[in-house]
Structure 1
Amino acid sequence: MWITESTTNALTPTAVALGNFDGLHRGHQQVIQPVVKNSEFGSQNSELTAFHSTVVTFNPHPQEFFSGQSRQLLTPLPEKVQQLSSWGIEQLVLLPFNRELAALSPEDFVEQILVQQLQAKTISIGQDFRFGKQRSGTATDLQAIAARFGIPVAILPNYNCEGERISSSAIRQALTEGNVKRAELLLARPYTLQGKVVKGQQLGRTIGFPTANIELPENKFLPRLGVYAVRVLIEGERHDGQGRQGRQGGISNDEFTSCLLPLASGVMNLGYRPTVNGIGLTVEVHLFDWSGDLYGKAIAVQLEEFIRAEKKFASLDELKAQIAADSAKARNLLSPDTTHEKVN
C-alpha cells in the first residue's frame, strides 16, 4: 500500500473514502467499502478499476491539533496501515492537519484537496462527517460542492449494531469497562495490542510463569487495567495444523498479523504490578504450552475476556496462586468447547 503525507506524491486519479477512521470499526468499514475494488471486502465495482482506492485521513487527529494534547488511538498508524492493506486499499493519504488546512473553507477544501490535488472521481463519507473551517461543512454540503465538478458522493448512514450507534467513543467506553466482547462486536474483530517483545524484570520465570513483556506505541489506547484471557500471534511463527510450531519466513512487522492464525493462548496482565512494587505500566503475557525466544519479535495480543481487575497481594506466594487460578480460568474461557453468553 502506498502511504504519503503529500498530495503531490499521491497516486491519481482516486476513489476516496474520507474520514478520521480511528478504530476502523463496522461503521468505518461501511464508508470504506464503496471505494474498494475486486476484493472480498469491496463491492466488486468494475467502474473503480481505473482509480486508486484511497483512504484520506488527517494527521494528527483534528482533536489533537486543536487541544494541543496527545490523543490515544484505537488504531495507531502501523495498525491502520496493516488493516487497510488487508481490505485491499491501495493508498493511504495522511493530510497534515495544520492551521492552513484548518482554515480552508468547505468549498476550497473540496476544490483544492479533493479535485485538483487528488483528482477524486468518486467519494465516500459518513453521515456525520464535518470538514472545512470550524467544521462548517456537512456531508450534504460536500455532496453538493462535489456535484459541481461531476463527482458523485456516497453518504453512508450511521451504522447501528443491536440498536446502538457504532462509534470510536462507544468502543473506548467498552474497553474502559473491560467489556472486550462488546468492543469486539462493534469493531467486528478482537481488540488487539501490538508491539515488540522486550526484556523485563524476568520475575515471572522465577515463580513458574514466564512472561513476554510487550512495548506498545505510546499513543495506543489501553483498556481497563487487569488480567485478560488472550490469543496471541507471533512474528515468524504459525501452527501446522497439528499443534506443533512451524516457521514462516519473510514476514514484515506490518504484515504478520494479517496472514497468520492464532499461535497460542495465554493470560495477560496490564498494569503496574503493585505486589512487586512496579514503577511503570507493563503489558505481560504468559503463553500456555509454548516455549521459545520471543525477544525482539513483533507480537499481537487479541483480547478475548476480562478476568479480573489489578490487585496487590500480600506475598509472592499469593500472587503465584492467583496467576495459577487466572491461567486456569483463561484456559477454560478459551477452550473451543466452552460457550459464553453474549456480553451486553
Structure 2
Amino acid sequence: MGGWWPWRIPWKRRRAWLSGRGLCGIVRAWERATMTQQHSPCHGAAGTLHVTLDELRERGPLFHATWVAIGNFDGLHVGHQRILKTAVAQAAGGAAPVALTFHPHPRAVVGSGAPPALMTLAARSACIRAFGVQCTVCLRFDADLARLPATDFVQAVLVKGLAARGVVVGENFRFGHRAQGTPQLLRELGHRLGFAVTVVEPVRCGGDIVSSSLVRRRLLEGDVEAAARLLDRPFRLSGRVVRGDGRGRTLGFPTANVLPDPELLLPGEGVYRVRFWRDGMEALPALAVISSRPTFTAGPVALEVHILDFSGDLYGEAVEVEFLDRVRGIVRFRSAEELRRQIQQDVAAARARFAADGQGRPQPAASSCGGPRA
C-alpha cells in the first residue's frame, strides 16, 4: 500500500507524537490557548475586569483556568514585580496568568482610611499587564468582602470565581475576616482544594523590606532616588495642566501648573529635576517645584513645572511628571529678585545634569513600568 501512513513511522517516533511532542502536542497546545482566550473575559479588552463578590458568585468561573498573583500592587515595586514574574513563569497547563487586586484599598473600609496611592488604578493595571499577566481582576473591597471568612474567600473567589490552579502571594499576605487567613492556611486549603501555592519571600533594599509604605515614606522625605530604587524606575505623578496665577512668567520662568489626580501621593516639598511627559508625546527635560510658595502669600501645596526650552499652550492637557532627583529644599526668600536668581542657578544645575546624562533633549515615549528584562 503506497502513500504516507502512521504505521510506517517507527513506534518510538509514533509514541512521541501521540504523547504530545509532535502534531498531537501542537494541537493540544492550540486547544489550550484557544480555550483560555475563549474563557477569558479580558480577551480583546483593556486587560482589566472589575467585579464584586456577588458577581463572582452569580457568574461562576470567569476563566477556564488561572494562575493567580494576589496583592494590592500599589506602585508595583520590586517586591510586587517578583510576585507577578513568579506567577507568569509558573503558569502551566493552559492556565492564564492573572493578577487579583482590590479597590478601594482595604484600609478605606476596615481601617482608618486609605493611604495616598502611588499610581492610579488604570496605571496599575497597565503596568501589571506589562509583566505578561493576561488579565487584572479588580475585586471591589466592601463590607461584604471584609466580613467573608478566610475559607469562604478561597472557595468563592479563587476556586469558583477564578478557577485557580496556582496562587502566588507574598509572605505578608492576609485575607478573610479580620485578616485571619495566612499563607500557611492558604497552603492547607490549596492542598485540599487542588491548587498550588507559592509564597514569595520579601525583597530587601538597603536592609529594608520593600513595601508600598516604604516607597511613600521615601517620597514624602523627598528622596525620589531612593524611591526609584524601590520601584525599579522613577516615580511618576499624573495630572492635568490648569491655569495658575502667572507668577512664574513674571519671574522669567513660565511654569505649567499641574493638578495631580486627587488620590495620588505628592512627594515632599522641594525643587526636583524631572521629565515632563505630554500625552502621547516625548518626555521634556524640566524642573519642578512642590511648595506652598512661602516667598509670596503662602497657600496650599502646589506642583509647578518649568519646561526647559519650551514654548506652547498646555492648558487642559493630561500629563505625567517623572521625578529624577531632588535639587534642593524650599526656602523663603526675602524678595522676588532673590528668588529669580536662585531659579536661574537651579535651571543651570538641571541643564548640566541633563547634559551629563545625555538627556538634554526631548526623549521618545517609553513605558513607566519596569517590565521583564531580557
Is the pair's TM-score, using the shorter chain for normalization, greater than 0.5?
Answer: yes
Deviation at 1:272, TM superposition (A): 1.2
Q: Please, which moves more after superposition, 213-222 or 59-68?
A: 59-68
Residue 328 (structure 1) aligned with residue 348 (structure 2): yes
- Aligned counterpart, 2:274: 230
Deviation at 1:213, TM superposition (A): 1.2
The 3-state SS of whatever aligns with 2:122 is helix
- Aligned counterpart, 2:320: 300
Residue 30 (structure 1) aligned with residue 82 (structure 2): yes
The 3-state SS of whatever aligns with 2:295 is helix
Q: Which amino acid aligns with 1:16?
A: V
- Aligned counterpart, 2:10: none
Q: Any conservation in 2 of the 1:231–1:301 contact (CA below 8 Å)? A: yes
Work out the CA distance in 2 between the residues paired with 1:210 and 1:143: 58
Query: Residue deviations 1:152-211, cap 9 Å, x none?
Result: 111101112243311112212211221111111111010111111122112212221111
Q: Which amino acid aligns with 1:163?
A: G
Query: Residue deviations 1:194-237, cap 9 Å, x none?
Result: 11112211221222111111121112112111110112221132
Residues 303-318 of structure 1: matches in 2 within 5 Å?
303-318=323-338
The 3-state SS of whatever aligns with 2:234 is coil
Query: Residue deviations 1:56-85, cap 9 Å, x none?
Result: 112121122123534211123132123223
- Aligned counterpart, 1:5: 51
Residue 81 (structure 1) aligned with residue 133 (structure 2): no
Deviation at 1:99, TM superposition (A): 2.1
- Aligned counterpart, 1:206: 250
Q: Any conservation in 1 of the 2:129–2:136 contact (CA below 8 Å)? A: no
Counterpart of 2:146 (choices 79, 102, 105) is 102
Deviation at 1:46, TM superposition (A): 6.8
Deviation at 1:2, TM superposition (A): 2.5
Work out the CA distance in 1 between the residues paired with 2:232 and 2:243: 33
Residues 227-266 of structure 1: matches in 2 within 5 Å?
227-238=271-282, 263-266=283-286
Deviation at 1:280, TM superposition (A): 2.4
Work out the CA distance in 2 between the residues paired with 1:77 and 1:196: 17
Q: Which amino acid aligns with 1:21?
A: F
Work out the CA distance in 2 between the residues paired with 1:220 and 1:108: 33
Counterpart of 1:291 (choices 308, 311, 316) is 311
Counterpart of 1:272 (choices 292, 314, 327) is 292
Q: TM-score, normalised to structure 1's length?
A: 0.83
Q: CA RMSD in A?
A: 2.0
Residues 39-188 of structure 1: matches in 2 within 5 Å?
43=89, 47=92, 50-188=94-232
Q: Any conservation in 2 of the 1:126–1:156 contact (CA below 8 Å)? A: yes
Q: Structure 1 pair 333/278, CA: closer, same or farther in 2 (3 Å)?
A: same
The 3-state SS of whatever aligns with 1:334 is helix
The 3-state SS of whatever aligns with 1:80 is helix
Greater RCO, CA 8 A, separation 6+: 1
Q: Any conservation in 1 of the 2:241–2:319 contact (CA below 8 Å)? A: yes
User: Rg: which structure is higher?
Assistant: 2
The 3-state SS of whatever aligns with 1:276 is coil
Q: Structure 1 pair 202/81, CA: closer, same or farther in 2 (3 Å)?
A: farther
The answer for unaligned runs of 5 or more in structure 1 is: 37-42, 239-262, 339-344
Number of matched pairs: 306
Q: Which amino acid aligns with 2:299?
A: I
More helix by share: 2
Q: Please, which moves more after superposition, 204-213 or 272-281?
A: 272-281
Q: Any conservation in 2 of the 1:305–1:333 contact (CA below 8 Å)? A: no
Counterpart of 2:71 (choices 8, 16, 19) is 19
Identity %: 36
Q: Any conservation in 1 of the 2:119–2:237 contact (CA below 8 Å)? A: no
Query: Where in structure 1 do 4 or more consecutive aligned residues deviate above 6 Å?
Result: none
Q: Any conservation in 2 of the 1:193–1:301 contact (CA below 8 Å)? A: yes
Q: Please, which moves more after superposition, 119-128 or 69-78?
A: 69-78
